[in-house]
Amino acid sequence: MVKFKGYEFVEGGVCAAEGFTAGGVIAGIKAGNTTKRDLAMISCTERCKTAALFTSNKVKGAPIIVSREHLKDGYAQAVIVNSGNANTCNPDGVEIAEKMCELCAQALNIDSDDVLVGSTGVIGQKLNIKPIKIKIPTLAKSLSKDGSGDACEAIMTTDTRKKELAVEFELDGKKCRLGGISKGSGMINPNMCTMLAFITTDVCINGELLQKALRKVNSLTYNMVSVDGDTSTNDTLILMSSGLAGNNEIICEDKNYEIFENALYAVMMNLARETARDGEGATKLVECMVNGAPDENTAKVVAKSVISSSLVKAALFAADANWGRILCAIGYADADFDINAVSVELASAKGKLTVCADGAGIAFSEDSAKEILSEDEIKILVDLHSGEGSAIAWGCDLTFEYVKINAEYRT
């Protein structure tokens, strides 16, 4: 994890903030699978100011349609999520998503309009409400401050590891917390959205600023991740604020707002990195840092272009310093800059090596390059030498296992 001064990592994940509990159970949503948790719930003692971002895909899962409607007043109190079935492209999808909210609300004794819903898994298969209906009462009773891990497990599909994190910091002399859980391994190429991520905080903050912070930080974190170039139909990012920390409400973009925004970045950036690290079949986390761009947007476009290139990803899997593929990806990025000024370096825990300068290759040791690229965390350092803009994007290598996982996804 990347640490930040003034923010201490703490246990608890999505339950770290005051007022929140969570849990996850085995409902048997996946046919024949009775060993993996597949139904999660997050709840708060308070109606929370809530911000959210959803997929930009024209094909949208039914849960997104329902959650958007429930969020029109800017408040929510619980989230119900299933894995194993995306509840997308189904004639009764909205009805099923609404029913999940109703069942969750009944179990928690809250208003169903204050429940948000998420689903992930296979697209185009009907979601059976029966196992969900049977297990929701048990799930509601199991909610606890220690339930983040169970909830995190329950939202996973092809993920190989849990993604949960929380930080503690101070506002107005009050201890505040912000934490979350996230899932995502394949069909990852966010665009003003994310995979599935649920973040909670006890900071008291104005609803409009909550949404503004989420949108900005998302543009720097989840939106800068790509595993395979596919934007999911169900991408959902939700941020809930209980306001129980006791700080003075943040109502303007002052120092306290900056501290809050940085806390959100600390959590979301680390969760985003872990999403890239856990890409389907991946063996390496790839971080592309672009400096010297004419502006930030240019840097973002170039960084995303590099980590999204299948040819670059395949070369990195083989620890092959094929810098020409990197320069090619930089060159077809939809941005204006002087390609003849570009330099590229490869780096890891084994060292750093320049492979391209002034838009052309230079002599370097292939053995040293192989050693650098054989690490499980690699940096591609790009300098456009055209300004002060910078950005970071995260991806992974492309392996044989990725093809196997997705070739057999339904079977």
Domain span at residue 121? 8-277
**Is 195 a residue whose pLDDT tops 60?**
yes
- How many Cβ atoms are within 10 Å of 249's Cβ, its own excluded? 12
Domain identity same for 290 and 171: no
Task: Find residue 25's DSSP bridge partners.
Answer: 39
Per-residue pLDDT of 150-183, as tens digits, reads 999 999 987 888 999 999 999 999 999 999 999 9
Pair 20, 200: CB distance under 8 Å: yes
Q: Which residue spans within 150-195 are E strands per DSSP?
A: 163-171, 174-183
Pairing of the two strands 285-293 and 343-348? unpaired
Domain identity same for 227 and 92: yes
- The closest alpha carbon to 200, from 250, 241, 166, 170, belongs to 241
Q: Which of 277, 293, 310 is the last residue of a domain?
A: 277
Residues that are catalytic: 194
- The closest alpha carbon to 218, from 184, 268, 256, belongs to 268
Domain identity same for 247 and 334: no
**Is 192 a residue whose pLDDT tops 50?**
no
- The closest alpha carbon to 396, from 330, 301, 298, 314, belongs to 314
**Is residue 342 assigned to a domain?**
yes
Q: Which residue shows structure tokens 């499980």?
A: 376
Pair 264, 180: CB distance under 8 Å: no
Distance CA 234, CA 61 (A): 5
In this prediction, residue 406 carries a pLDDT of: 76
3-state secondary structure (DSSP) of residue 354: strand
Task: Find residue 79's DSSP bridge partners.
Answer: 42, 116
**Is residue 2 assigned to a domain?**
no
Pair 133, 28: CB distance under 8 Å: no
Q: What CATH number corresponds to the domain at position 122?
A: 3.60.70.12
Q: What's the pTM? A: 0.91
Q: Which of 277, 312, 347 is the last residue of a domain?
A: 277
Domain identity same for 186 and 300: no
Number of domains in the chain: 2
Domain identity same for 152 and 172: yes
Alpha-carbon distances of 11 from 3, 16, 61, 178, 370, rounded to whole Å? 15, 7, 32, 11, 38
DSSP 274-336: HHHHT-TT---EEEEEEEEESSHHHHHHHHHHHHH-HHHHHHHHTT---HHHHHHHHHTSSS-
- The closest alpha carbon to 280, from 228, 222, 320, belongs to 228
Phi/psi-derived region of residue 409, left when phi > 0, alpha when psi is between -120 and 50, beta in every other case: alpha
> Is residue 409 very low, low, confident or very high in pLDDT (cuts 50, 70, 90)?
low
Pair 351, 375: CB distance under 8 Å: no
Alpha-carbon distances of 259 from 213, 250, 302, rounded to whole Å? 11, 11, 29
User: Which of these ranges, 4-13, 116-125, 381-390, has the smallest mean pLDDT?
Assistant: 116-125
Domain identity same for 60 and 147: yes
Q: Which of 252, 277, 302 is the last residue of a domain?
A: 277
What tokens appear for 294 in the block? 């004419």
> Is residue 60 very low, low, confident or very high in pLDDT (cuts 50, 70, 90)?
confident
Domain identity same for 233 and 371: no
